[in-house]
Chain A
Amino acid sequence: MPLAFDDQSSSFFDYLLHQRPDLLPGSRGLASENSVSMPEESRGVVPPPFSHGTTVLALKYERGVLIAGDRRATEGFQIAGRRMEKVFKVDEHSAIAIAGAAGPCLEMAKLFQTELEHYEKVEGVQLSCEGKANKLGQMVKANLPMVFQGLVVVPIYVGFDLKRAEGRIFKYDITGGRYEESDYHSIGSGGKEARNTMREHFRKNLSEEDALTLALRSLYNAAEDDVGTGGPDLVRGIYPTAKCVTASGIGDIEEERMSRVYAGLIEELKRGA
């Protein structure tokens, strides 16, 4: 039990930063020194642009925001995992999806969840949607030293803003820059293909069914062209994960519904071929 009550911050992240920097993602306290983790020849070298194998996307629809991601994890040219989850519930009204190095991504998702819950308990109220988005930006910024060691973490944040009564999408760059998107966005190595598909088919106020179909179509197209993105695995019955964030909270989209939408989509593609 810490006796030092002088630090009155409501942020769990700040608490770790001051009291337990070793627990932060990438343990920056240790890594920022010229330590073993950074080989001599890589110092001062700007890393090549990273495109980690993944496609995650978010799009707005009539009731809120839909966020979805594929399930593939890669290690070089190998497939390291087929059931990886890249979309995380953060609290009752927000979710994030992350592209980048798997370990730090999971760590950041967990830390962000704890951060928001911690704030809510200490202050007695939830952070605003904007506040949550800004906080995530600070956490991405704090990860910048790790980027130079090749451990990139780039999230998309979606939340339902209860004050404005609308869903919102925020994207980030590696420096923690935060940009709001008005309709849809996707990131990861297959992000461009997914964006192209959404650009073509996106309409305002889609129904949930149509939004889900569009999300899965975009992921399918991304998987067509990008080796880092997994398509639907009909043999093992593995489908992308998706969540919808609405005024009434956050909900998972069941696998059954996914397989139904995919069945329709595949039928349509067969006819076209």
Chain B
Amino acid sequence: MPLPYYVSPEQMMQDKAEYAKKGIAKGRSIIAMEYQDGVLLVADNPSASLYKISEIYDNIAFSGAGKYSEFENLRKAGIRHADLKGYMYSREDVTARSLANGYSQSLGTIFSQELKPLEVEILVAQVGEPGRPNEMYRISFDGSIFDERGFTASGGRAEALQVYLKDRYTSEAQTLKTALALCAAALESITNQKLPLEGLEVATLDRTRVGRKFRRIPPTESRQILA
């Protein structure tokens, strides 16, 4: 009987990480950015029906970069987690922090135990009540979790986006218009070509809304906002 090959744990983790990173870098990018009324999410997504950004709960949104089938499953699991919690306790007890923890646990377990890691990077954003801070969490393929302020980017050439935004983002007085223009310019800068507004998926978590804060902004409305 042939002996199984010995692979050191370091080597195995490194290989898995490389594999996942390669997969995620192949995809397109997503930006989440705070503005005066909440959080803006913009994704480079040519499809008008296969969404990368989605509502999870009253004031929580989700976006996934990487492999569609994989982050779609995570999205559904997130909605179940949130609805179950809201049903069991109360609507205000559903928080982005607990959701992000859940994602981190899930992704971490899959990364270390399964043969193939998930090729996804996830953003969970929560808009705060007036006077309270927003929360943005980026969860990586290996379950590592980053608490972000101001803006964050995931998928595709996320690092280049971070660099681009770091120089240009100012935290005070970002209106929806300036934030959207900055996100669109950032996405254009890494693709080196003009992105039509139809190719951008835009949504906001708007704290001025009553009840459910999540809202999709169709291309026609983005055009009006930018005009």
Are A1 and B102 touching (Cβ within 8 A)?
yes
Does residue B219 face the partner (Cβ distance < 8 Å to A)? no
The answer for the CA separation of A4 and B95 in the assembled complex, in Å, is 22
Are B80 and A2 touching (Cβ within 8 A)?
yes
Does residue A23 face the partner (Cβ distance < 8 Å to B)? yes
User: Given contacts A121-B54, A121-B56, are A1 and B83 in contact (CB under 8 A)?
Assistant: no
Question: Mind listing 16 A-B residue pairs with CB under 8 Å?
Answer: A1-B77, A1-B81, A1-B103, A2-B77, A2-B80, A8-B76, A12-B80, A12-B83, A12-B84, A15-B80, A20-B84, A110-B87, A114-B83, A114-B87, A124-B51, A124-B54
Interface size on A, residues (CB 8 A): 18
Does residue B8 face the partner (Cβ distance < 8 Å to A)? no
Choose from A5, A16, A117, A118 the contact partner of B73 (Cβ within 8 Å): A5
Q: Nearest Cβ distance between residue B167 and chain A, in whole angstroms?
A: 36
Does residue A234 face the partner (Cβ distance < 8 Å to B)? no
User: Which residues from B are CB-within-8-Å of A12?
Assistant: 80, 83-84, 87
User: Which residues from B are CB-within-8-Å of A1?
Assistant: 77, 81, 102-103, 105-106
User: Which residues from A are CB-within-8-Å of B81?
Assistant: 1-2
A interface residue numbers (CB < 8 A to B) = 1-3, 5, 8, 12, 15-16, 20, 23, 110-111, 114, 117-118, 121-122, 124
Q: Nearest Cβ distance between residue B113 and chain A, in whole angstroms?
A: 10
User: Which residues from B are CB-within-8-Å of A114?
Assistant: 83, 86-87
| B residues 87-113 in Cβ contact with A at 8 Å | 87-88, 102-103, 105-106, 109
User: Given contacts A3-B106, A124-B51, are A118 and B77 in contact (CB under 8 A)?
Assistant: no
Are B83 and A117 touching (Cβ within 8 A)?
yes
Q: Nearest Cβ distance between residue A208 and chain B, in whole angstroms?
A: 23
Q: Nearest Cβ distance between residue B26 and chain A, in whole angstroms?
A: 23
Does residue B55 face the partner (Cβ distance < 8 Å to A)? yes
The answer for the CA separation of A2 and B109 in the assembled complex, in Å, is 12
User: Which residues from B are CB-within-8-Å of A16?
Assistant: 84
User: Given contacts A23-B88, A117-B83, are A122 and B103 in contact (CB under 8 A)?
Assistant: no
User: Which residues from B are CB-within-8-Å of A15?
Assistant: 80, 84
Does residue B195 face the partner (Cβ distance < 8 Å to A)? no
User: Which residues from B are CB-within-8-Å of A23?
Assistant: 84, 87-88
User: Which residues from A are CB-within-8-Å of B83?
Assistant: 12, 114, 117-118, 121
Does residue B190 face the partner (Cβ distance < 8 Å to A)? no
Q: Nearest Cβ distance between residue B111 and chain A, in whole angstroms?
A: 13
Q: Nearest Cβ distance between residue A180 and chain B, in whole angstroms?
A: 29
Are B77 and A5 touching (Cβ within 8 A)?
yes
Task: Map CB proximity to A onto B47-89 as digits: 1 under 8 Å, 0 otherwise.
Answer: 0010100111000000000000000010011011101101110
The answer for the CA separation of A202 and B136 in the assembled complex, in Å, is 55
The answer for the CA separation of A8 and B76 in the assembled complex, in Å, is 9
User: Given contacts A121-B54, A121-B56, A124-B51, are A5 and B76 in contact (CB under 8 A)?
Assistant: yes
| Given A2-B81, A23-B84, A121-B55, 12 more pairs with CB closer than 8 A | A1-B81, A1-B105, A1-B106, A2-B77, A15-B80, A15-B84, A23-B87, A114-B87, A118-B80, A118-B83, A121-B54, A121-B83
The answer for the CA separation of A118 and B86 in the assembled complex, in Å, is 11
The answer for the CA separation of A23 and B85 in the assembled complex, in Å, is 11
Residue among A3, A5, A8, A111 with max Cβ neighbours from chain B (10 Å): A5
The answer for the CA separation of A117 and B58 in the assembled complex, in Å, is 10
The answer for the CA separation of A61 and B54 in the assembled complex, in Å, is 37
Please name the residue on chain B nearest to A2 by beta carbon.
Answer: B77
The answer for the CA separation of A111 and B88 in the assembled complex, in Å, is 10
The answer for the CA separation of A227 and B76 in the assembled complex, in Å, is 48
User: Which residues from A are CB-within-8-Å of B86?
Assistant: 114
The answer for the CA separation of A114 and B81 in the assembled complex, in Å, is 12
User: Which residues from A are CB-within-8-Å of B79?
Assistant: 118, 121-122
Q: Nearest Cβ distance between residue B218 and chain A, in whole angstroms?
A: 14
In the complex, the 9 A-B pairs of residues with the closest C-beta atoms, listed nearest first: A1-B102, A5-B73, A118-B83, A1-B106, A114-B87, A121-B79, A121-B55, A114-B83, A12-B83
Please name the residue on chain A nearest to B107 by beta carbon.
Answer: A1
User: Which residues from B are CB-within-8-Å of A122?
Assistant: 76, 79
Q: Nearest Cβ distance between residue A250 and chain B, in whole angstroms?
A: 12
Q: Nearest Cβ distance between residue A151 and chain B, in whole angstroms?
A: 19
Q: Nearest Cβ distance between residue A171 and chain B, in whole angstroms?
A: 26
The answer for the CA separation of A2 and B105 in the assembled complex, in Å, is 10
Q: Nearest Cβ distance between residue A122 and chain B, in whole angstroms?
A: 6
Please name the residue on chain A nearest to B55 by beta carbon.
Answer: A121
Q: Nearest Cβ distance between residue A9 and chain B, in whole angstroms?
A: 10
Choose from B49, B54, B76, B109 the contact partner of A3 (Cβ within 8 Å): B109
User: Which residues from B are CB-within-8-Å of A118?
Assistant: 79-80, 83
